[in-house]
A and B are shown apart, each in its own frame.
Chain A
Amino acid sequence: MSKTTKKGIQKTRKKRKNPVLDSSNVVIVMHTTEKATLFPEKLKKANEILSKTKFLDS
């Protein structure tokens, strides 16, 4: 392995070890159920019931 190649590998490893994180590259993915609803308590209750419900077409 040549000296140049070794340096290249070291440089790549260094980049992975120190990733640059700032607010500009953070993407927030929201589930559709977490969208703004006027009645969050009712939606929460609905999801609780539905998660334990056996549907007719299932």
Chain B
Amino acid sequence: MTKDSYSYRRKGFERYIFTSVGKSRIMKLVDFSPTRTKNLYNLGFGDLLPDGSLNHTVNSNNGDIIKVLATVVQIVRDFTQQFPEIKIFFSGSTDERTKMYARILRMYYDMFREEFIITAVIKIGEFYDEVAFDSQSNNTYFAFFIKRIN
């Protein structure tokens, strides 16, 4: 997850860009946006399409998903190294994608927890609870938080 990733460029303090090179070349954007909660930023991630628009739901099937996600992890590292007080919120654009993020967090949890506190969101009725991320459970998580260990 850390060794093979794409190089990226930073645009401003909250935006990163890199190119996925698989079956085709696809520009990817990662954007950190402040939420209404202090020091809590939302991680947005998607493709820059040929017409200049952005799509965060498209499944590009470029054959390099692990390398793309490894790059996003590197970007999260970079951003949180500069702003360690900021907590990152992220969820998939679809349930399937959120499940995929949960699988990756479970798979690499031992490595991630050396650098980050990882928590997750579960739904209880109409509301949500932040809970400790359990890599051994099959809980259905709706979203995740990542915060650098200072």
Contacts and interface: CB of A to CB of B under 8 A. Distances in A.
Interface of A: 31-33, 35, 37-39, 41-43, 45-47, 49-56
Nearest to A36: B33
A52 B34 contact: no
Interface in B25-80: 29, 31, 33-37, 40, 42, 44-46, 54, 56
Given A46-B91, A55-B130, A39 B35 contact: no
Nearest to A55: B130
B128 A54 contact: yes
Contacts of A42: 42, 44, 56, 91, 93
Contact of A52 (B44, B119, B127): B127
Q: Looking at chain B's contact residues, is the secondary structure mostly helix, strand, loop, or mixed?
A: strand
6 contacts: A43-B35, A47-B36, A49-B142, A50-B35, A52-B126, A53-B129
B46 A39 contact: yes
A35 to B, nearest CB: 7
A45 B46 CA distance: 15
A53 B126 CA distance: 10
Contacts of B40: 50
B130 A37 contact: no
Contact of A46 (B45, B89, B119, B132): B89
B131 interface: yes
A52 to B, nearest CB: 5
